[in-house]
Structure 1
Amino acid sequence: MCLLTLSVSLPSLRPPECAPGIADHNCPKASTLQKGIFFLALYIIAVGTGGTKPNISTMGADQFDEFEPKERSYKLSFFNWWFFSIFLGTLFSNTFLIYIQDNVGWAVGYGLPTIGLGISIFVFMVGTPLYRHKLPSGSPLTRMLQVYVATFRKWKSCVPEDPKELHELSMEDYACKGRNRIDRSTSLSFLDKAAIKTGQTSPWMLCTVTQVEETKQMTKMIPILITTIMPSTLMIQSTTLFIKQGITLDKRMGPHFDIPPACLTAFVTIFMLISIVVYDRVFVPVIRRYTKNPRGITMLQRLGIGLVLHVIIMVTACLAERKRLSVARENGLFGQHDTLPLTIFILLPQFALTGVADNFVDIAKMEIFYDQAPEGMKSLGTAYFTTSLGLGSFLSTVLLSAVANITQRHGHKGWILNNLNTSRLDYYYVFLAILSLLNFLFFVVVAKFYAYNVDVTQNKYGLEMILASTQEDNAKIRQSTPQPDAKSWENKAVVPSASP
């Protein structure tokens, strides 16, 4: 953020301003140094985001004690309110900071979040002694790769029917490391070959059952990860094509104020914040009475609802675009910079539905990837979340470029042009709606065959409660049973036994 602020503040790091009356393509171009500093700042932000987002969410969830019933119930709502705080900051940036950048300057617009980030780092450092810390247990990717390699090297071996014949450590070994042992499951059974004892002890040839089960749990979430790429792709449309639609519309909001098109994304945030509160405080308590599920509905059900909403969003966007194009034809406004006599708020439904859909999709997939990841791979699980966002962004670019190129072949005008008033974005939105529907059908198949992991922590908690209860019962029995004192035993010892 410091580099980004400097790149828009120092005259030597930003291109000269374009003179009034000169077309954009004739303006002075940025130098190689200026481009290098700017893109270096963006790449550093991307790398930093990839490192902090998965760990911050995991660390926040780890602050709750699984063995404390009250904290355990709070943890079920943690990601709801974690996203609430994130989107509260997004709302601030989409309204106040965009206004500052447009009306005050980019230096102040980037400088304020830079200062805020510095304050956040200071608060984080001050609170470090108060956090619950978990010791690192090695690279999860390395442990998974070891299982895959060991399985491949022992592919022709047969898995014994008795799980006790597979390689596993004792409970004491796991207790010393503060980890839980996981029993063998029937899913992805071919990976059990990695735990077959062959006399070799190399970690790339022999893995424990727990390590194999951890790899299974991370592997079986990959199909779910694939189903979340498409909604991430659709989410990109709200910050790109939806905004470009708004540029062509009437932006007046009262007699003296024009709403910036980029501020339309604030409606996504507003409706997500509202839907989070309604979902957590109204929907979950009501539906919990019928489902008996502490979350109200399952995590996959929540994700499925979000996927259906994304199909509805693209249909809604298509209808709004058809209305926009009909107004353009009726008024003969086909210029690239023509403003149509149609209010920008016609786009409000698609932005509002996007916010509601994000509440279901984003929070659900974060919960799934964290909850279903094994204890030592929680950060990798939440990294699946950011991976789906990144892949969705790349897929959005690929689809947009491919459709634009294919539809312009053989002399056709094309669906996606620089001039939206002569484009056919409505066709493109139908195309995205079809892809979303196919993605939902694929998700239904994945969800049907997905088996939730056994709650190891809950089982361990129940086992400890049983042991504690047994110990209490034994103590009561000992207290209620009269014990002979030392003197009676002494008398018993000196009494001669009768002769036969």
Structure 2
Amino acid sequence: MAGAERGEEAALEQGLLAPEEPNQLIYTGDGSVDFSGNPVVKETTGRWKACPFILGNECCERLAYYGISTNLVTYLTKKLHDGNASAASNVTTWQGTCYLTPIIGAILADAYWGRYWTIATFSTIYFIGMAILTLSASVPVLMPPSCEGSFCPPASPFQYTVFFLGLYLIALGTGGIKPCVSSFGADQFDDTDPAERIQKGSFFNWFYFSINIGALISSSFLVWVQDNVGWGLGFGIPTVFMGLAIISFFSGTSIYRFQKPGGSPITRVCQVVVASLRKWNVHVPEDSSLLYELPDGVSAIEGSRQLEHTDELT
């Protein structure tokens, strides 16, 4: 009993426990830090305080993405006078690129920049791409002349270049947002706290709800605007929402929890493969605590968190 009291007093002296609530941790237990790199106070950061900014960012970004992709074939055929086969091929290639670029964003986030700066940087690229796309549909010199009877003059190489520059900047931008936003939202909940671990599951429900709200507005209202009002406005509205997404994201900076980059995931995957081959015949101890890479259960890679042992893949 006396030993427990001495341990509690030591923790109080180090600032790990609140004086008025000796058993309540002040700081998170998962290694998260604030924007300046200092340990974060549980009560004033993360959790649902930070989530509205992240959910707002995701909702606006998905609205912008689907506001472009849903009706893109129609724009290519009606405004750029592209053939049906060519338009479908261009849209498919662009969408495929949107699903490949997250590999770039994930590696940069995990190894170098962290999720916050990856989202911030690629959101800016995304917004620039949206602005260029809006200009290409609004400025007469960037659009081919209207059809005269059955003759529809094709877009010039310059007009194509401007349009596809904006389109592929969007593809690059989504590559930094798609793999990081959900993970950054999960970072706002401390895995070592059972209550916050439950709240994290609820966050993912709201996260996917935000995605569907953005997609719903795009697939209904924005498509109607593009077909009946004009493509300049139809692309301009998602551009404005992308700007709002960036503002929403930066607004929560002071209360976010950050995880430090843990090194290149490619390097770590290779390490696992090499270690598995080298230890093919090693006897697995019955005590799972001995399976950590270091005796104290701390990862050798700074910023990474240990995974619990499981028998599922034996």
TM range (shorter): 0.5 to 0.7
Please give the residue correspondences for 1:466-477 in structure 2 after superposition, counting only pairs within 5 Å.
none
Aligned counterpart, 1:275: 101
Q: Does 2:222 align with 1:364?
A: no
Shift in CA distance, 359/294, structure 1 to aligned 2, threshold 3 Å? closer
Paired letter, 1:361: I
Please name the residue that 2:211 is paired with.
389
The answer on 1:342 being equivalent to 2:155 is yes
Does the CA contact (< 8 Å) of 1:227 and 1:442 recur in 2?
yes
Distance 2:86 2:201 in 1: 38
Counterpart Cα distance in 1 of 2:106 and 2:58: 22
Deviations 1:24-67 (A, max 9, x none): xxxxxxxxxxxxxxxxxxxxxxxxxxxxxxxxxxxxxxxxxxxx
Say whether the 8 Å CA contact 1:321–1:425 is kept in structure 2.
yes
Aligned pair partner of 2:248 in 439, 442, 449: 442
* Pair 1:451 & 2:257 matched: yes
2:55 alignment counterpart: 225
Residue in 1 that maps onto 2:92: 266
Matched, 1:313 2:152: no
Residues 227 and 439 in structure 1, CA contact (< 8 A), matched pair in contact too = yes
> Are residues 338 and 311 of structure 1, via their aligned partners in 2, closer, same or farther at CA, if it must alter by over 3 Å?
farther
Alignment TM-score, normalising by the size of structure 2 = 0.57
Report the residue type matching 2:137 in the other structure. Answer: E
Q: Which residue of 2 aligns with 1:353?
A: 169
Task: Give the aligned partner of residue 21 of structure 2.
Answer: 163
Tell whether the 8 Å contact from 2:120 to 2:246 is kept in structure 1 after alignment. yes
2:137 paired with 1:295 = no
What corresponds to 2:74 in structure 1?
244
Shift of the alpha carbon at 1:348?
2.8
1:424 aligns with 2:246: no
Q: Which whole-Å CA distance do the structure 2 matches of 1:240 and 1:392 have between them?
A: 12
Residue type of the partner of 1:440?
I
CA offset at residue 219 of structure 1?
4.7
C-alpha spacing 1:348/1:259, structure 2 compared with 1 (3 Å): farther
CA contact (8 A) 2:59 2:211 kept: yes
**C-alpha displacement at 1:386, in angstroms?**
2.2
Letter of the 2:124 counterpart: V
Q: CA RMSD in A?
A: 4.3
Contact 1:264–1:351 (Cα < 8 Å) also in 2: no
Q: Is the 8 A contact 1:268 1:354 kept in 2?
A: no
Q: 1:234 to 1:342 in 2, by over 3 A?
A: same
Cα distance, 1:363 vs structure 2: 0.7
Cα distance per residue 1:193-223 (max 9 Å; x no partner):
xxxxxxxxxxxxxxxxxxxx9xx62553232
TM-score, normalising length: structure 1? 0.38
**Deviation of 1:303 (Å):** 1.1
Report which of the two has the higher share of helix. 1
Distance in 2 (alpha carbons) for counterparts of 1:312 and 1:181: 36
Q: Confirm whether residue 328 of structure 1 aligns to residue 153 of structure 2.
A: no
In structure 2, the residue corresponding to 1:328 is in which secondary structure? coil
Query: Does the 8 A contact of 1:234 with 1:310 survive in 2?
Result: no
- Relative to structure 1, the CA distance from residue 443 to residue 398 in structure 2 (aligned partners, 3 Å threshold; closer, same or farther) is farther
SS at match of 1:164: strand
Change (3 A) 1:463 1:280: closer
For 1:294 and 1:431, the matched residues in 2 are separated by 32
Query: Is the CA contact (8 Å cut-off) linking 1:373 and 1:381 kept in structure 2?
Result: no
- 1:124-273 aligned within 5 A: 162-164=20-22, 186-188=41-43, 217-248=47-78, 249-252=80-83, 259-272=85-98
Name the residue aligned to 1:47: none
Partner deviation per Cα, 1:371-410 (whole Å, 9 max, x = no partner)? 4444444544444442231121133357538xx6xxxxxx
Q: C-alpha distance in 1, partners of 2:43/2:143?
A: 54
Provide closer, same or farther for how the CA distance between residues 430 and 349 of structure 1 changes in structure 2, counting only shifts above 3 A.
same
Q: Distance in 1 between matches of 2:103 and 2:111?
A: 14
Given residue 164 of structure 1, which amino acid in structure 2 is its aligned partner?
Answer: P
Structure 1 residues 240 and 186: CA distance shift in structure 2, 3 A: same
Alpha carbons 1:315, 1:433 under 8 Å: kept: yes
1:348 partner letter: F
Unaligned segments of structure 1, at least 5 residues: 1-159, 169-179, 190-212, 253-257, 285-292, 405-414, 468-500
User: d(CA) in 1 for partners of 2:151 and 2:255?
Assistant: 52
Aligned partner letter, 2:167: F
**Contact kept in structure 2, 1:318 and 1:429, CA below 8 Å:** yes
Equivalents in 2 of 1:231, 1:349: separation in Å? Answer: 19
- Larger-Rg structure: 1
The structure-2 alpha-carbon separation of the partners of 1:247 and 1:315, relative to structure 1 and needing over 3 Å to count, comes to: same
Equivalent positions of 1:114-125 (< 5 A) are none
Question: Counterparts in 2 of 1:99-118, with a 5 A limit?
Answer: none
Partner of 1:96: none
